[in-house]
Amino acid sequence: MNVPAVVELENLEKSYRLGKVTVNALRGVTLKLRQAEFIVIMGPSGSGKTTLLNIIGTLDKPTSGRALIDGEDITIMNDGQLTKLRRHKIGFVFQFHNLIPVLTAFENVELPLITSGVKRRVSRDRAMELLRRVGLQERTDHLPDELSGGEQQRVAIARALANHPRIVLADEPTGDLDTQTGFEVVQLMHSMAKQEGSSVVVVTHDPVVAESADRLVEMRDGRITEKVHERLAGQKHTIRAVEPLPPEPGRSLSQPN
pTM: 0.83
Range 12-40 average pLDDT: 92
Say what the pLDDT of residue 3 is: 66
In the chain, the domains with their CATH numbers are 5-240 (3.40.50.300)
Name the residue type at position 62. Answer: P
Question: For the segment 74-104, what is each residue's pLDDT rounded down to a tens digit?
Answer: 999 999 999 999 999 999 998 777 899 999 9
Cβ neighbours of residue 26 closer than 8 Å, sequence gap 6 or more: 12, 13, 14, 48, 51, 52, 55, 62, 222
CA distance 37 to 25: 25
CA distance 158 to 93: 9
User: In the structure, what pLDDT confidence band is assigned to residue 181 with cuts at 50, 70 and 90?
Assistant: confident
Strands, E assignment, the chain: 5-18, 21-34, 38-42, 64-69, 72-73, 90-93, 167-171, 199-203, 215-218, 225-226, 237-240
Angle at 215 between CA 214 and CA 217, to 5 degrees: 155
